[in-house]
């Protein structure tokens, strides 16, 4: 079962360069086996064209390496905090994709200007606070995860499967690694469209709430009707 997990995580990681979301090694995907309490994640700093399924690193939620010849991604501690706090997610993605990262560097959330955004993410995509100097120095990657968890306290992390970390970049999540990558692709496109829309119309306002609700709930929730019945 864990070999299949490594294969899925390898394939999910390879989707990042395929969709133009990473430069060099600036990204990672993980997926967790909740029953086993083990997740697989990309190794740190290994070129995508050199990756193999067997290179994926298996970790537990205490941060111990279970299996792997490489060191895990430097963002592993962030993934751990998200898995611990968000029990319904099964995959996490971090990239430095250029459009989403531009919003993060600007310290701005991404308003919902249209239906592409509303189809996947309910409301403004948040940009969480800066870490303090102590948080950066003492446990940077863990505290990055905790800052995300702090923001989502009492909020629906399923309805907003994306976040921007100020001056850093985006994280997304989903039911598995592949869905988390899908959300990362959507986030990048939404970030691009929002930036262009603001340039075309500096007085732009978010899409009407009725339209946001219609597009989100026609794909999600009890009365969703988008797509084919399974």
Neighbours of 168 (CB within 10 A): 20
Contacts of 108 (CB under 8 A, 6+ apart): 127, 164
Phi-psi region of 43 (alpha: psi -120 to 50; beta: other; left: phi over 0): beta
For residues 67 and 189, give the distance between their C-alpha atoms in angstroms, rounded to a whole number.
35
Q: Catalytic residue among 48, 55, 119, 140, which?
A: 119
Q: Is 119 a catalytic residue?
A: yes
For residues 86 and 122, give the distance between their C-alpha atoms in angstroms, rounded to a whole number.
17
Q: Is 226 a catalytic residue?
A: yes
Catalytic residue positions?
119, 226
């Amino acid at each position: 079962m864990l070999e299949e997990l490594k294969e899925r995580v390898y394939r999910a990681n390879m989707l990042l360069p395929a969709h133009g979301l990473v430069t060099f090694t600036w990204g990672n995907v993980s997926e967790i086996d909740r029953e086993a309490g083990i997740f697989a994640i990309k190794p740190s700093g290994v070129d995508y064209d050199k990756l193999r399924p067997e290179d994926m690193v298996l970790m537990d939620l205490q941060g111990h390496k279970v299996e792997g010849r490489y060191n895990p991604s430097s963002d592993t501690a962030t993934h751990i905090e998200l898995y611990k706090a968000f029990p319904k997610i099964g995959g996490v993605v971090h990239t430095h994709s250029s459009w989403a990262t531009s919003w993060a560097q600007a310290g701005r959330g991404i308003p919902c200007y249209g239906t592409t955004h509303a189809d996947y993410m309910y409301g403004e995509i948040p940009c969480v606070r800066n870490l303090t100097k102590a948080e950066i120095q003492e446990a940077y990657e863990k505290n990055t995860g905790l800052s995300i968890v702090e923001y989502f306290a009492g909020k629906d992390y399923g309805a907003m499967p994306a976040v921007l970390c100020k001056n850093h970049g985006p994280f997304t999540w989903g039911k598995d690694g592949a869905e988390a990558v899908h959300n990362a692709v959507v986030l990048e496109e939404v970030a691009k469209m929002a930036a262009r829309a603001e340039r075309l119309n500096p007085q732009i306002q978010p899409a009407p709430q009725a339209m946001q609700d219609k597009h989100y709930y026609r794909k999600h929730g009890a009365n969703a009707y988008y797509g084919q019945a399974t």
